[in-house]
Chains A and B, each alone.
Chain A
Amino acid sequence: NAGVTQTPKFRVLKTGQSMTLLCAQDMNHEYMYWYRQDPGMGLRLIHYSVGEGTTAKGEVPDGYNVSRLKKQNFLLGLESAAPSQTSVYFCASSRTGIVGELFFGEGSRLTVL
């Protein structure tokens, strides 16, 4: 019952460093998402994908890039990390259709010093 798996779970970066968060889902879902959650706030959508090879911008895409080379994986990249990107990052996936709730990973806590 893996569901949605995110790696790494924790990471500390220095300003200007780059890193990639990996999201993997084993439910054969078409849609995948990256959200960020800042303290005391709800989740905000960074980027999303409606299928293999497709990506689109969400509400807060600046400073992030994504790729969906395989249906089961959705990568979130930070090319030059900034302290404002300190956050908890959630990956999610959903099936197509009206009801399709999002299934979330456990989150990745990123700190940029």
Chain B
Amino acid sequence: AQKITQTQPGMFVQEKEAVTLDCTYDTSDPSYGLFWYKQPSSGEMIFLIYQGSYDQQNATEGRYSLNFQKARKSANLVISASQLGDSAMYFCALRMNNNAGNMLTFGGGTRLMVKP
């Protein structure tokens, strides 16, 4: 069974600085995808970024980038130039590409707090 771990329950970052949120995963299948979602205090789940296991380059979306180290089975989210609005819960999720329903398995989340 696949497993996904976020070891940082909470993190602080100074506004305008960069921050890295850790995510490690465990799977023996070669084909999979990694997702990051943001959950602000209002509760909705917002998709941020996706990385496929066969993608040659690390994914980037605006201020978000994914530091994908396949051999170490890590997919850390890097947020550059943090903003106050980045304060939220962040979830890493794993999807096996051989599963019938595209469902995601989520990590426990990291609460990011941006200080002014």
The chain A residues found within 8 Å of chain B, CB to CB, are: 31, 33, 35, 40-45, 48-50, 56, 58-59, 88, 90, 92, 94, 96, 98-104, 106-107
Contact yes or no, A33 B103, CB < 8 A: yes
The 4 A-B pairs of least Cβ separation, nearest first, read: A42-B106, A104-B45, A101-B47, A43-B106
Q: How far is the CA of A106 from the CA of B46 in the complex (A)?
A: 10
Contact yes or no, B43 A98, CB < 8 A: no
Contact yes or no, B103 A42, CB < 8 A: no
The chain B residues found within 8 Å of chain A, CB to CB, are: 6, 9, 33, 35, 37, 43-45, 47, 50, 52, 91, 93, 97, 100-109
Q: What's the nearest-Cβ distance from chain B to residue A62, in Å?
A: 17
Contact yes or no, A50 B100, CB < 8 A: yes
- Nearest CB in chain B to that of A49: its residue: B101
Q: How far is the CA of A59 from the CA of B77 in the complex (A)?
A: 26
Other A-B contacts than A48-B101, A58-B103, 8 sampled, CB-CB below 8 A, are A41-B108, A45-B105, A48-B103, A59-B105, A99-B52, A101-B35, A102-B45, A102-B47
Q: Which of A42, A58, A88 meets B91, CB within 8 Å?
A: A42
- Chain B residues touching A, majority SS: loop
Contact yes or no, B101 A43, CB < 8 A: no
Q: Which of B35, B50, B97, B106 meets A44, CB within 8 Å?
A: B106
Q: How far is the CA of A92 from the CA of B44 in the complex (A)?
A: 11
Q: Which of B9, B47, B97 meets A103, CB within 8 Å?
A: B47
Residues of A within 8 A of B102 (CB): 31, 94, 96, 100, 102
With A41-B108, A42-B108, A42-B109 in contact, is A56–B47 under 8 Å at CB? no
Q: List 18 A-B contacts (CB under 8 A).
A: A31-B101, A31-B102, A33-B103, A41-B109, A42-B91, A42-B107, A42-B108, A43-B106, A48-B101, A48-B103, A88-B43, A90-B45, A94-B102, A102-B35, A102-B45, A104-B44, A104-B45, A106-B43
Q: What's the nearest-Cβ distance from chain B to residue A104, in Å?
A: 4
Residues of B within 8 A of A35 (CB): 106
Contact yes or no, B44 A106, CB < 8 A: yes
